[in-house]
Chains A and B, each alone.
Chain A
Amino acid sequence: MLKARTRGFFLVLGIIVVGACAFSFFLKTDSPINETQAMKIFYDYPVVSTFDEMAEEAEFIVSGRYTSLDSKWNMARNPENIMEEDSENYVEGWLYHFEIDDVLKGNLESSTILVNHKYSQVITTTESNAVVDDEGNILKAATKENTLSFSVHDPMFIEPELDSTYILFLLKDKDFGNYYAAVEPFSIKVENGIPELQSNLLNNTKTFSEEIAVGGDRTVDVLCDVGMGVDDFISGRSLEDIIQAISTSK
């Protein structure tokens, strides 16, 4: 009886020793960094599919011309004091001078405004050799880490043509005084009196891919997804018709 107990004791002890050694080996083993190869970014922008929605969402609708690029700035702000830049994030906005010919909706006293176009943002991601379970919990802490930082173009950005005529659908940033896209699309270019909707989402395009070099021979595939594309909902409409529709929507 005693012999059996002793045998059992040593058996359990043996299992514990082997288990502890295996666990210690598991903790000390250095696996290589699990390199980020692909990334997807979903942007939840307000996208509209009709002209009426576009006019309804805008606080200001103006026609006029971009005259020059004023400056580039960091749209990411410190939430504690938004007059300061965010020290952890960088979102580049391009501020353009826009000379107003007509105010079609809203009260605007100035004849020149600054219109912000979001250009890009810096994405930062840390890759490591941490062992992670199916639910995202770290089972084994990283012994090697590498931080990647790169700039991704905003999928909505279209560089405006200086001195061409546009109708813009805008909101006002009450903190900084500049104006920005109320929705997507937010811009109609008027070429020889014919209105043309401006958007990268036309023809129902909703995803945009970029292969970004991150050093050495390495690249990361970044897929930006805006959720929905749009049809050209002003196609065939005249400028007069659009201006009339704006005045009735007010």
Chain B
Amino acid sequence: MKKGLLWMSQGMLVGLIMACIVVPMLTLSVSAYSLESFHLKSKSASFVWGDRIDTPGSVIRNAWESAISDWASASSCDFYSSSNSVNELNSFYESSSSLYGRTKLTYDITTDAIYIASFEAKINAGNSSISRSNVARSTANHEFGHLLGINDLSSGTAIMNTNRERSTIYIPQTDDINGVAAVYG
């Protein structure tokens, strides 16, 4: 009887140790995203089309439109065009450059530290790879990820992976979606 109790307590101890090791590993494997210290106030945000892409049809305008639809399907995000917005989606032409895109955010560090006050997200039409299949769309989805409060990663299957293969990873992936869910619930 005593031996049985001893074995049981030893078993419980081993179980406890394994739980201490396995549970944090499981937690780590489901949190393969990194969060920014700030983000949009809600998953719904307006924008104006910039002067370089105000008529539909260009590679970059199509990329932004696809990315809006991708984030709506992935995380119920609603980026909508409004002529009355302080935010802008656009393109720029930077030659002799391998830069894909650039997002500029302003925020108030004293009164509203965690929220983006305005953004300007642009894709580089001068990058020689931008017209390759899905590259512009991958860039657009990546820039939206920044606005939604998820940070860059250096590895993994994620739109926020800076080192991703842009022609194959071009829509938000599970880790990106989990990251946005962690921000907005």
Contact = CB atoms under 8 A, between A and B. Distances in A.
Contact of A136 (B52, B85, B143): B85
Nearest to B48: A136
Contacts of A33: none
Contact of A44 (B82, B91, B93, B143): B143
Given A46-B100, A178-B96, A228-B154, A130 B107 contact: no
A4 to B, nearest CB: 42
Interface string A30-62: 000010111111111111110001000000000
A44 B45 contact: no
Contacts of A130: 86
A180 B96 CA distance: 6
Contact of A75 (B47, B94, B101, B105): B94
A125 B91 CA distance: 16
A109 interface: no
Contacts of B47: 136
Given A38-B107, A42-B146, A138-B84, A82 B95 contact: yes
Contacts of A175: 95
Interface stretch (A86-94, A209-217, A234-242): A86-94
Interface size of A as a range: 35 or more
A44 B99 contact: yes
B56 to A, nearest CB: 16
A118 interface: yes
A75 B95 contact: yes
Contacts of A181: 98
A49 B97 CA distance: 19
A159 to B, nearest CB: 17
Given A36-B106, A40-B107, A41-B103, A227 B96 contact: no
Contact of B102 (A37, A41, A174, A229): A41
Nearest to B147: A42
Contacts of B146: 42
Contacts of B31: none
A79 interface: yes
A206 B173 CA distance: 23
Given A41-B104, A44-B139, A228 B152 contact: yes
B61 to A, nearest CB: 12
Nearest to A50: B163
Contacts of B104: 39-41, 123, 125
B82 A137 contact: yes
Interface in A105-136: 116, 118, 123, 125, 130, 132, 134-136
Interface in A161-189: 171, 173-176, 178, 180-184
Interface in B151-165: 152-155, 162-163
A135 B84 CA distance: 11
Interface in B129-174: 139, 142-143, 146, 152-155, 162-163
Contacts of B100: 44-46
Contacts of B93: 76-79, 82, 86
B95 A44 contact: no
A136 B128 contact: no
A225 interface: yes
Contact of A79 (B41, B42, B52): B52
B59 to A, nearest CB: 12
Given A41-B104, A42-B102, A134-B41, 15 more contacts: A34-B117, A38-B109, A39-B107, A82-B126, A123-B104, A130-B86, A135-B42, A137-B86, A138-B84, A182-B98, A227-B162, A228-B154, A228-B162, A228-B163, A229-B154
The 9 closest A-B pairs by CB, nearest first: A227-B152, A227-B162, A228-B154, A134-B41, A44-B101, A180-B96, A44-B100, A116-B96, A173-B96
